[in-house]
């Protein structure tokens, strides 16, 4: 009777996790967060006496939505070692937060009578091209922060890029969860394997007396 069980080769119950800083989705949402903070500082005027409360609330909501997009990606990555389900949920929350922020930027343009650029607009194409730079931050897009129309449209373009990355990430996480399961499935598999190994060792010991 031959058995090939080798516990040293078993997959770890808690796999490597937490490397969110290397995720393109995290990198992009960090840019969006920093960009939104600067956008609100420049264009969402909190000192307007007539609309001070509304503008302050709008600024806070936009910054919070941008922060939520980034933070939930990080939290999901950190939780992935013990719960793929939680990671899926948190990345989904990040995606929803970006959707909320996108509406805020679209509202900003509409309510001020500013033009929303089409996806084939040369300025949009130029913004998309910046994403291929190896090293970038929100300052990569600082030239667009000079005029409100340019600033809001650049943010919308960044949000579309980040949403695309998150959609891809969600699909990959969904496939991985269906194929490999999560912590519970790995724990059950390890326990079953250990029981089989223990039974085999008991059987061989009884046969050889060793």
User: pTM here?
Assistant: 0.76
Higher pLDDT, 9 or 68: 68
**Per-residue pLDDT at 42:** 95
**Per-residue pLDDT at 12:** 52
Q: What would the two tokens of residue 160 be?
A: 């579309």
| In a domain? residue 206 | no
| In a domain? residue 142 | no
Half-sphere exposure of 150 (CA within 13 A, CB side): 12
- pLDDT for residue 197 is more than 50: no
Q: Quick one: angle between helices 24-43 and 52-79, nearest 10?
A: 170
Question: Are 164 and 156 spatial neighbours (Cβ–Cβ below 8 Å)?
Answer: no
| In a domain? residue 177 | yes
Per residue in 130-163, pLDDT (tens digit) is 988 888 999 999 999 999 999 999 999 999 999 9
75 is in which domain, residue-wise? 21-136+151-198
Per residue in 24-70, pLDDT (tens digit) is 999 999 999 999 999 999 999 765 666 778 788 999 999 999 999 99
**Beta carbons within 10 angstroms of residue 179's beta carbon:** 7
**Per-residue pLDDT at 200:** 43
Question: Are 199 and 191 spatial neighbours (Cβ–Cβ below 8 Å)?
Answer: no
Per residue in 77-103, pLDDT (tens digit) is 888 777 788 889 999 999 999 999 999
Q: What is the dihedral of CA 52, 56, 58, 64, to 10 degrees?
A: 180
**Per-residue pLDDT at 190:** 47
| In a domain? residue 10 | no
Separation between Cα atoms, residue 89 and residue 169, nearest integer Å: 12
Q: Give the total number of structural domains in the chain.
A: 1
Q: What is the dihedral of CA 182, 187, 190, 196, to 10 degrees?
A: -120
Query: DSSP 3-state assignment of 142?
Result: helix
């Amino acid at each position: 009777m031959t058995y090939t069980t080798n516990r040293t080769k078993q997959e770890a119950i808690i796999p490597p996790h937490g490397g969110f800083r290397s995720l393109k989705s995290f990198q992009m949402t960090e840019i969006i967060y920093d960009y939104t903070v600067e956008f609100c500082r420049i264009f969402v005027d909190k000192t307007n006496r007539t609309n001070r409360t509304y503008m302050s609330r709008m600024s806070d909501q936009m910054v919070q939505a941008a922060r939520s997009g980034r933070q939930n990606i990080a939290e999901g990555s950190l939780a992935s070692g013990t719960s793929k389900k939680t990671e899926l949920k948190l990345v989904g929350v990040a995606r929803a937060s970006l959707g909320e922020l996108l509406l805020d930027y679209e509202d900003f343009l509409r309510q001020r009578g500013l033009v929303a650029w089409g996806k084939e607009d040369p300025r949009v194409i130029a913004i998309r091209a910046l994403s291929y730079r190896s090293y970038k931050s929100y300052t990569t897009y600082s030239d667009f922060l000079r005029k409100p129309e340019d600033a809001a449209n650049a943010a919308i373009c960044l949000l579309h890029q980040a949403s695309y990355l998150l959609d891809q990430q969600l699909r990959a996480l969904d496939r991985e969860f269906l194929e490999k399961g999560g912590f519970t499935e790995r724990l059950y598999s390890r326990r079953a394997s250990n029981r089989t190994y223990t039974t085999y060792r008991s059987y061989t010991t009884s046969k050889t007396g060793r």
